[in-house]
Structure formats: structure tokens, C-alpha cells
């Protein structure tokens, strides 16, 4: 695997191998010295054209734990605000001799452009592009699902037969798209619950079951319910009447949480709008794995960077 651009084109064996490498990375996390020399001498640029807290910090932590040299670029305060194009930025980075780029961009397809333009010839990792894909988020979600469902013997396994409900702003969500492709590849059954206004056109061709009732979907006691953030910054119209109305029909309210079976885990990629798509009670409950998702994000990103930069598939032991 040279680049990680999407989960749609990730085959099952590669996905499982990344998750297994991430297990090795997680094992390192329990040591006194958490650092591995695997990427010593490699320079990784984090190219962030869009705001981010956890993804940016998570990639940086992953890079540092693998001993890479890290350069953080954020569009704010760079020559981008002087009108520099993606091409010129890419060629500038290439001229400096960097080894990999992690890119987040508000335009869907920007990472593909970097990977296939010939402007620079290094591995590109997509950290979220527009409403298109966010592959490392889907991989860390799959890792968290394996961890929650299989305890110690997750190695080599997919997510066959698990029932996952994804709820909310599917229309604007790259997290939903990446999860839907990866979950299907790993054998899970996905039900999508969204208001009609936030359901993407053409969803009938996706490998999901569509429902417009959150209560019905939760009644079926899924293995996991994944709540999505309402992405107001991407909304150019009114997609629902108001926050109270949204929470009532589509939110994991305290009342819905209390009815949820104990075996259903609660996921959210963050950042959360508490009180809108998820109540504090649900987010902070024992069934919530939201902070585990954050922890696992570092291991999964270590595994992805290790894989694209060393070409290695398996053993990360020194
Ligand atoms: C997501 C993103 O930026 O796509 N956040 C994240 O990376 N953890 C989801 C979101 O912003 O709602």
C-alpha cells in the first residue's frame, strides 16, 4: 500500500493487516518507553487546510512515537492565505525532500490529486477530505469495535455479522462514508438512520439498510450505535427545523440511552455537540467508547504510517 486515500478501495486483507499492526502498536503503549525507532530519519508533513483537534494531534503523536521528524502546516498563517495553490505548496514540500504527507482538506479529492498529480512522489495519507472520506477514522472505529467485541483474540478477524447503526448527518459525513465502505468490507451489517434531508442521494446503491426511525433501529439491539456530528459548517440550507426538534427525533437522548440494551456500545468520532446528536448521559456512560476511539486513533495512525512508509505488513517488534 503506497497511499491511504479511502476505505472504498481498501481490500479486506490490507485492512485487517493494518488493524493487526495497530494491535502491536497498542502493546508498545504499555511500555515505559513508548517510542519505537521505526521511522527515524523520515520527515512527515501534516498539511491541514481545515480545522482539526483530535485528528491533527493524533497524527502528530503517532509520528513522534515512531521517531519521525514532524512538520506541522496549517493553512491559516501560511502562504495559502496569500493565494498559493495546492500544486505550488506540494512542489515546495517536494523540493524540501520530505517523506510523507498527511493531508486534511475541505475539498473532496484533494488527497487523490496530491497522490496522482506527479507534483510529489511520496505516500499520501488522507486525514479527511471534504464530505468524501476519512479512512483513518474508519480504521480506528473498526479497531475499537474489534477490541470491544473480541477482547484479546481480535488478531486476523473482521467484523463479520456485527450490526452497526450509524445515525445523523450522513449527507455531510466523510466519517460515515469511510465507515460504510470499511464495515461492508469487514462483513458487518450497517443500518443508516437519518432525516430524509440529511440522506445523500443515491444511498440505495450503498451497502446499507436505510431507516428513518432511530427508535426502530435501536429496538433491534445493535452491537454499536455510531452518532455523527451535525456539521453546521458544511450546511448551506436549513436541513431541520431547530436543535430541539433534531434531538427529539434523531438524537441519542438520555431517554433513548436508558432504553438501550447493555450490550450496545456508543461511538462518536468527535467533536460532539452535546445535547444535539448525543446527550451527556449517553456520551459519559459506561457503554460509551468515545475516549477509547481517541486512544486507538494513535495506534491505528502509527500502523498506517508504518505500513505506507516501510512497506511492512506484519511484525513491528524491534
Ligand atoms: C470528524 C471529521 O473531521 O471528519 N472528526 C474527526 O476527525 N474526529 C467528524 C466531524 O468533524 O464531525
Ligand 1 centroid – CA 273 distance (Å): 12
Which atom of ligand 1 approaches the CA of 104 most closely?
A: 3
Ligand 1 centroid – CA 228 distance (Å): 9
Overall size of the chain counted in residues? 318
Which atom of ligand 1 approaches the CA of 228 most closely?
A: 12
Domains, the chain, in order of start with CATH, read 7-134+294-310 (3.40.50.1370), 135-290 (3.40.50.1370)
Give the span between the Cα atoms of 14 and 1, in whole angstroms: 8
- Per-residue pLDDT tens for 217-232? 999 999 999 999 998 8
- Among 72, 202, 54, 208, CA closest to 134: 54
Sorting pLDDT into bands at 50, 70 and 90, what band is 240? confident
Ligand 1 site, residue 128, Cβ cutoff 6 A = yes
Ligand 1 site, residue 55, Cβ cutoff 6 A = yes
Ligand 1 centroid – CA 107 distance (Å): 14
- Per-residue pLDDT tens for 76-104? 767 776 667 899 989 999 999 999 999 99
Sign of the Cα torsion 46, 52, 54, 55 reads negative
Amino acid at each position: 500500500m503506497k497511499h491511504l486515500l479511502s476505505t472504498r478501495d481498501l481490500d479486506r486483507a490490507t485492512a485487517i493487516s493494518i488493524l493487526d499492526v495497530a494491535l502491536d502498536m497498542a502493546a508498545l503503549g504499555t511500555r515505559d518507553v513508548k517510542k519505537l525507532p521505526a521511522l527515524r530519519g523520515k520527515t512527515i508533513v501534516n498539511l491541514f487546510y481545515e480545522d482539526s483537534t483530535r485528528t491533527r494531534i493524533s497524527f502528530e503523536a503517532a509520528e513522534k512515537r515512531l521517531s519521525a521528524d514532524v512538520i506541522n502546516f496549517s493553512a491559516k498563517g501560511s502562504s495559502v492565505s496569500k493565494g498559493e495553490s495546492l500544486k505550488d505548496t506540494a512542489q515546495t514540500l517536494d523540493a524540501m525532500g520530505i517523506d510523507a504527507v498527511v493531508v486534511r482538506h475541505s475539498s473532496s479529492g484533494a488527497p487523490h490529486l496530491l497522490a496522482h498529480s506527479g507534483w510529489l512522489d511520496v505516500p499520501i495519507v488522507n486525514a479527511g477530505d471534504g464530505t468524501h472520506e476519512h479512512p483513518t477514522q474508519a480504521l480506528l472505529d473498526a479497531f475499537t469495535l474489534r477490541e470491544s467485541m473480541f477482547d484479546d483474540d481480535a488478531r486476523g478477524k473482521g467484523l463479520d455479522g456485527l450490526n452497526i447503526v450509524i445515525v445523523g448527518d450522513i449527507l455531510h459525513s466523510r466519517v460515515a462514508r469511510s465507515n460504510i465502505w470499511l464495515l461492508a468490507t469487514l462483513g458487518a451489517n450497517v443500518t443508516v438512520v437519518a432525516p430524509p434531508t440529511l440522506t445523500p442521494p443515491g444511498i440505495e446503491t450503498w451497502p446499507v439498510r436505510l431507516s428513518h426511525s432511530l427508535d426502530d433501529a435501536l429496538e433491534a439491539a445493535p452491537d454499536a450505535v455510531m452518532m455523527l456530528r451535525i456539521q453546521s459548517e458544511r450546511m448551506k440550507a436549513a436541513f431541520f427545523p431547530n436543535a430541539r426538534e433534531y434531538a427529539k427525533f434523531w438524537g441519542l437522548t438520555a431517554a433513548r440511552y436508558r432504553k438501550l440494551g447493555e450490550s450496545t456500545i456508543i461511538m462518536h468520532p468527535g467533536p460532539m455537540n452535546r445535547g444535539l446528536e448525543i446527550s451527556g448521559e449517553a456520551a459519559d456512560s459506561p457503554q460509551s467508547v468515545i475516549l477509547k476511539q481517541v486512544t486507538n486513533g494513535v495506534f491505528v495512525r502509527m500502523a498506517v504510517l508504518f505500513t505506507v512508509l516501510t512497506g511492512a505488513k506484519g511484525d513491528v517488534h524491534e
